[in-house]
A and B are shown apart, each in its own frame.
Chain A
C-alpha cells in the first residue's frame, strides 16, 4: 500500500461550523505533513508531525488545529474559518523523521475546502 488517503474529497462549511479533515497512510511513514494550496499557486507548508509529535507550525492561525492520534493518522480540525481559508488541503508523508533530509514525499489527493 503506497497511498495516502484523505477524506473527505470535498467539504463546504460555514464560518461557524466545526469540521475535521482526515489523512491516513499505512506505509509505516513517521513524518506527516499538512499543506495548503490556493488555485494556481504552489503548496504552502502548514504543519509537520515527526514521530507523532508536532515539529513544525508555520505560524498557522489557531482556527486550524492539527492532531496526530497515531503514526498512521493525521487530522486537521477546523473551527471558525474565514472565506479566504478556502483552498485545497493536502496531506503528505515521508518515511523517516525530520533528521532525514532528502526523502521522497507521498501526497494524498487533497480535500477541496470551501468556506461560505
Chain B
C-alpha cells in the first residue's frame, strides 16, 4: 500500500461540472501539496496545506489531519483544467522539507 493514495486515477467530466479529487495518506505529515501538471511537463504548485481549507479562484483544497485526508475541488470546470493533479506530502519524520512523498496522480479530462 502506498503511503499516499489518490482517487480516482482517471476522471472525465463535462464542462461546468463540480469535480473532487481525493488524497489519503497513512503517515503523520507536516504539510500537503496539491500540484497540477499539464501535458508537456510543467508542474504548478496549486496549494500547500497544513490545516483547514484554502481557496484560489475556482479551486478549493481542504485537509482533515485527524482523518489523514485531503480533497481538491474544482468548481465550474473548464477544458483548460484538463491535467494531472498530484498530491504530495511531507512526513513529520522528514528532516528535510524537500523530501516529498508523491501520489500517483489523477488524470482529469474536462470535455466541452
Contact = CB atoms under 8 A, between A and B. Distances in A.
Interface of A: 31, 33, 37, 40-43, 45, 48, 55-56, 88, 90, 92, 94, 98-110, 112
Interface string B81-99: 0000010101000111111
Contacts of B86: 42
A41 to B, nearest CB: 7
Contacts of A55: 96, 98
Contacts of B76: none
Contacts of A109: 40-42
B45 A56 contact: no
Contacts of A56: 96, 98-99
Interface in B22-57: 30-31, 33, 35, 40-45, 48, 50
Category for how many chain B residues contact A: 20 to 34
Nearest to A112: B41
Contacts of B96: 48, 55-56, 98, 101
A37 B43 CA distance: 11
Interface of B: 30-31, 33, 35, 40-45, 48, 50, 86, 88, 90, 94-100, 102-105
A41 B35 CA distance: 14
Given A42-B86, A102-B48, A102-B50, A90 B41 contact: yes
A45 B90 CA distance: 13
13 contacts: A31-B98, A42-B88, A42-B102, A43-B43, A43-B102, A55-B96, A92-B43, A94-B97, A99-B97, A100-B97, A101-B30, A102-B50, A108-B42
Nearest to A89: B41
A49 B111 CA distance: 41
